[in-house]
Chains A and B, each alone.
Chain A
């Protein structure tokens, strides 16, 4: 079964860029969500192998969504990477406290994004 990555962002611009790069560089299937609530629902129903998630979003932010995901046994060990324009130490700390594995800062650099994905999911590598 193909490995799947869940990308979560309320910005269509970011979704377009991340989806395109991940499809270019990996064999991963991609599924999308636009806010934290939708992300939790899709993570539970679609069982992604990795989650790439924005922090500042409507309905439920990335920290809360991350905490909620970690409450479920099926998502306990799924790598979660938070993506944010706020890279200040207190935000990074809040991210790790919510249970994320790693952090990426916007604007996204393609090589940083792909390196991060491959680090956590080497099986998905395309090149």
Chain B
């Protein structure tokens, strides 16, 4: 599946080596903690898959930061790979919010259609406002409160929040046919992405 990375992404997102080293340490610590949780989990327990997914995602982000050498393309690719392999979604966009106006750019994407791009462009202001609330949203297609996002074909909206305000987001559109929707287990993984991908992409 072709992964699309937007032009200009590399030049505008170079972080310094010190930030990278700190991030790598944090991710390594988290990955080790998840591995420990997994090793303590009883065989075939429900949360066994959860811990192993969190371990794999954290370790994968760590490898991406290490491989990136300050260039964030590897991190964005890792996010798309995690979404595809651990969440069963092959229609994903990684967004960067503009700082001075309620707009956003697509940093990297996989599987999204012209209609998805159009929706992100036309409704940028409203999506921007949803992202700035700073909460992971798993869209409930039957809930009135989620009507706007559901109508755009969005399954989940994950704000990327370096400590203070959101600087970007991951938008998950349609899930693969055999997935009925995001589960509570997926919420753990989406929460992890919300906390760690922001610093990896945009710095602290």
On A, residues with C-beta under 8 Å from B are: 11-14, 16-17, 20-21, 24-25, 56, 85-88, 105-111, 114, 127
Contact = CB atoms under 8 A, between A and B. Distances in A.
B65 to A, nearest CB: 13
B176 A25 contact: no
B44 A20 contact: no
Contacts, number: 66
Given A12-B63, A13-B60, A16-B59, A110 B88 contact: no
Given A16-B56, A16-B60, A88 B177 contact: yes
B20 interface: no
A85 B176 contact: yes
Contact of B86 (A17, A20, A88, A111): A17
A94 B144 CA distance: 42
Interface string B61-86: 00100000000000000100110111
Interface of B: 1, 35, 38-39, 43-44, 48-49, 52-53, 55-57, 59-60, 63, 78, 81-82, 84-88, 90, 176-179
B88 A85 contact: yes
Nearest to A15: B56
A13 B88 contact: no
B48 A110 contact: yes
A13 B82 contact: yes
Nearest to A16: B56
Contact of A13 (B44, B48, B57): B57
A56 B78 CA distance: 17
